[in-house]
Amino acid sequence: MIASTIYILPGEAESQSVTDARRRSRLITQQAGRALEILGHAIEYLADEYVVAAREVSADDPRVEAIQILMAVNREIYFACPERPTFRERVRAFFRFGAR
């Protein structure tokens, strides 16, 4: 498994609980990691191609919509991976297990 951490840029308007949840490490399986890698390459390729070929930027462009769809699938796969417990959670679980 691969562990990954996502960081939120300062100034993003999100609730604290959502921000905290996104900063948690994730346990990413090899299959999910490979899917994220492939999607990342596809997004990068389409974005680069769009920047080179587009005369003007438009949200209604089918290429932009394709990029947005791939990005949504990428996020869906990432957030479907279980969160890694924090050190505090692991210590608490250890002492709860040991008290039995």
Residue 99 located in a structural domain? no
Residue 95 belongs to some domain of the structure = no
- Inform me whether the pLDDT recorded for 99 exceeds 80: no
pLDDT digits (tens, 9 = 90+) for 33-43: 999 999 999 99
Q: Which residue has the higher pLDDT, 45 or 3?
A: 45
The dihedrals phi and psi of 55, each to the nearest 5 degrees, come to: -85, -35
pTM for this prediction: 0.67
Mean pLDDT, rounded, of the chain? 82
In a domain? residue 76: yes
The answer to the question of residue 39 being in a domain is: yes
The total of structural domains in the chain comes to 1
What is the domain extent for residue 8?
A: 2-85
Would 97 be classed as within a structural domain?
A: no
Q: Which helix (H) or strand (E) holds 27?
A: strand 26-28
**Domain for residue 96, yes or no?**
no
Q: Does residue 98 lie within any of the structural domains?
A: no
92 part of a folded domain: no
pLDDT, position 43: 97
2-6, 18-22, 49-53, 75-79: least confidently modelled range = 2-6
Q: At what angle do helices 62-80 and 30-53 cross, to 10 degrees?
A: 160
